[in-house]
Amino acid sequence: MKTGKALGILALVALLSAGCAPGSPPGTGSPGTASSMPMGTSSPMSSPGMMEGSGPAAAAAVITISDFAFQTPASVPAGATVTVTNKDTVEHTVTADTGSAFNVEVKANGGTATFTAPSKAGSYPFHCSIHPQMLGTLTVK
């Protein structure tokens, strides 16, 4: 039994594997990666709709884009101002599939854009013109 040699090999293997381990320290996502974009500046909910001018304040019509997906409200009132917030790190668009009912670009990292919902009730499928696999439907009542 050449235990000593076996132990030596084991030690060598251990050394090698330790040395070859990818040197990625834990926590690669440093807390500083978030952009300096402040989150609190774009909150349409708290504004009493003074800029709208006409009509009663409707329920918040907000589309949120997150992780390459649209999060749409169950419905929006006809003619409502729809606010789009993009939480992704790339730009997206909200583009009606047919016609030109709406088409807005939404900047990355918390960018917002608004458009006016169609004045006619119905379902309006839309997509992102940059990422055609991103699909959504805006229901107008």
Q: Look at the alpha carbons of 110, 75, 138, 77 in this order and tell me if their dihedral is positive or negative.
A: negative
Looking at 31-39, 75-83, 95-103, 123-131, which segment touches Cu ion (CB under 5 A)?
123-131
Strand 62-65 relative to strand 81-86: parallel, antiparallel, unpaired?
A: parallel
Token pair, residue 64, equals 């949120």
- Residue 128 CB, shortest distance to Cu ion, in Å, is 3
- Beta carbons of 72 and 63 less than 8 angstroms apart: yes
**Binding flag, residue 135, Cu ion (CB under 5 A):** no
The number of residues that bind Cu ion (CB under 5 A) is 5
Looking at 10-18, 45-53, 112-120, 131-139, which segment touches Cu ion (CB under 5 A)?
131-139
Write each residue from 71 to 110 as x if it is in contact with Cu ion (CB under 5 A), else as -, in one continuous string: ---------------------x------------------
**Binding flag, residue 127, Cu ion (CB under 5 A):** no
Burial (CB < 10 A; 0-12, 13-18, 19+), residue 77, is middle
Could you report how far apart the first and last alpha carbons of the chain are, in Å?
Answer: 85
CB of 106 or CB of 140, closer to Cu ion: 106
Token pair, residue 54, equals 């006409």
**Binding flag, residue 130, Cu ion (CB under 5 A):** yes
